[in-house]
Amino acid sequence: MNPELSAITPSTRIGDLFPSSADCPRFEGDTIVQNLLEFFSRNDDDAVIVTRRSAHVGIVTLRDIVRVIHDSDNLGLPIRDFMTSPVETFDADTQISDVIEAIEELPYDKIVAAKGKNVLGIIDKHRLMSLCYRQITPMVKHDYTVIDSLMGLVGEGEKGLLKMATTDTLTGIGNRRLFEEVFQSYQKHSKTQDYSLYLLLLDVDNFKSINDTFGHNVGDSVLKQLAELIGASIRKTDTFVRWGGEEFAILQRYSDPMAVMKVAEQIRKKIDEHSFETIVHVTCSFGLASVRPEEDLESVFERADKALYRAKSDGKNCVRIDMG
């Protein structure tokens, strides 16, 4: 890996993981195992590209060769007999966030980073995930669905840590940390996007009364049911989290502000008409704010919160808007 790389972010290029002068070794497929073994013994490389008439057709690792030696004493066999094929190559300028999404579907473990004809290096996808895991939350590209991709790639132990870092333990949806990271990622790329960003806050009306009357177990059940109900009412690309207590937040991308207001009203109505367990009827108040370019989360949250306060003051169970 590149010793000069100090941090991995969503926009880090896959090629940046390797030294700029790197050029992965290549061997023709008819090279015999003995010759490749001698190469590995003289160099620090642990994988090579196998070629056929200069085209990349496979990968052979040091581990593959060790396995050959263990299973067979015929070191004169061609290395193409032991290669992993085909080769999945990513342009060196591809962002790691895009690579992560793509490799989830790959049936094999290793990928190649190339710059034109120059192969910068080979990396195991689990090794890539290990590197990214050190800063796993910022690896969320633009929406919560990428977390699902990451979950499929990390080991069982890492899955637990990843879930703890980005998920609300009561409801199973995202938490504040996830929301903050996704918001920052959106704002970083806001100048290059053709959509607007909106923050929708919602708060359960009279939630203290629900807890006092029915108990905290019923209150928790209400929050869980709300999370399921709202989650089924929004798009996968919307970032939906429990902000804290009985308050939830949704980060949405829309090009039409009228569409956002319509969605907010649809969610409000669905909650109002839903039959909840034990207490049956629950309502929520909503505060909606459009996010200004380069605005920080504290500022837009304050505006959305003021809109939410107006909704409470206007009798609750309604949507109020601050479009900035």
Is 246 known to be catalytic? yes
Q: Check whether 102 has a pLDDT greater than 50.
A: yes
CATH number at residue 314: 3.30.70.270
| Residue 171 placed within a domain | no
Between these two residues, 7 and 117, which has the higher pLDDT value?
A: 117
- Coil, strand or helix: which one is 201? strand
- Residue 248: domain span: 184-322
| Residue 156 placed within a domain | no
Catalytic site residue from 246, 247, 273, 295: 246
Side-chain half-sphere CA neighbours of 246 within 13 A: 20
| Residue 132 placed within a domain | no
Q: Check whether 136 has a pLDDT greater than 50.
A: no
Q: Which of 88, 16, 21 minimizes the C-alpha distance to 49?
A: 88
Locate tokens 């060769």: which residue?
65
Domain termination site, one of 106, 127, 148: 127
The pTM (predicted TM-score) of the whole model is: 0.55
Per-residue model confidence (pLDDT) at position 288: 95
Q: What domain count does the chain have?
A: 2
User: How far apart (Å, rounded) are the C-alpha atoms in residues 198 and 299?
Assistant: 13
Q: Which of 289, 284, 288 minimizes the C-alpha distance to 316?
A: 284
Q: Which of 123, 117, 59 minimizes the C-alpha distance to 96?
A: 123
- Coil, strand or helix: which one is 247? strand
Dihedral, 89, 94, 100, 102 alpha carbons, nearest 10: -50
* DSSP line for 273-320: H--BTTTB---EEEEEEEPPTT--HHHHHHHHHHHHHHHHHTTSSSEE
Q: pLDDT, tens digit, for every residue of 193-234? A: 667 889 999 999 999 999 999 999 999 999 999 999 999 999
